[in-house]
Structure 1
C-alpha cells in the first residue's frame, strides 16, 4: 500500500499545475463567452433604434436626392472657392431666410502683419 501511495502523491503534485492551466484557459473562455453575451445583448437593445434609423433614411432619400440635384453644383462652387473653412463661423440663418457665413475675427491680442509682410525682431 505504501508503494502505491508514493507514486499517487507524485502524480497529484505534478497534476496540480496542469489543472491550474486548464482553469486559466477556462477563465479565458468564460471571458470570451461573457463578452459575446454582452455584445449580443447590446445588439438586441440597439436593434429597434437601428431599424428606426433605416426607416428615417428611406423616408429622407428622395428629399436628399432632390437637394443634391438642385444645390450640388452651387455647393461644389463654394467648396472650390473657400480655401480654409476654419476661419469662418458656423452658418447663421437670418429671420428673412438669408444664410450668412461670417469670417471669424482674429483675437484682439494678435497684431496684424505689417503691409510689407516683414516682422521686425
Structure 2
C-alpha cells in the first residue's frame, strides 16, 4: 500500500510541477492501480511508467538539472533489468531521485 501511495503522490507532484510547461497530465495512479491497470492487463502500467519517466527527464532538463531518468531507463532497468533481479530496484531509485530533485528545485525556484 505504501508503494502505491508514494507513487501516487509523486505523480501528483509531477503534474503540479511540469503541467504548466508541457501541457500534459499523468493519470492518477490510484485510478491506474485499481481500475485501468487490471482492465488493460498491465499495459496501462507500462504506458504510465514510460510517460512519467520521460516527463521527469524532460522537466529536469528544462530546469537545467542533470537528466537522471528517462523512458529508456524504464525499459532497460525495470523491464530488462528484471532478469538480474535488482534492475527494478535501480529504476525505482532513479525515478524517485528524479522526482525529489524536481521537488527540491520547485521549492527553491518555483
- TM-score of the superposed pair, with normalisation by structure 1: 0.20
TM-score scaled by length of structure 2: 0.21
Which structure exhibits the higher relative contact order, with contacts defined as CA atoms closer than 8 Å and separated by 6 or more residues?
2
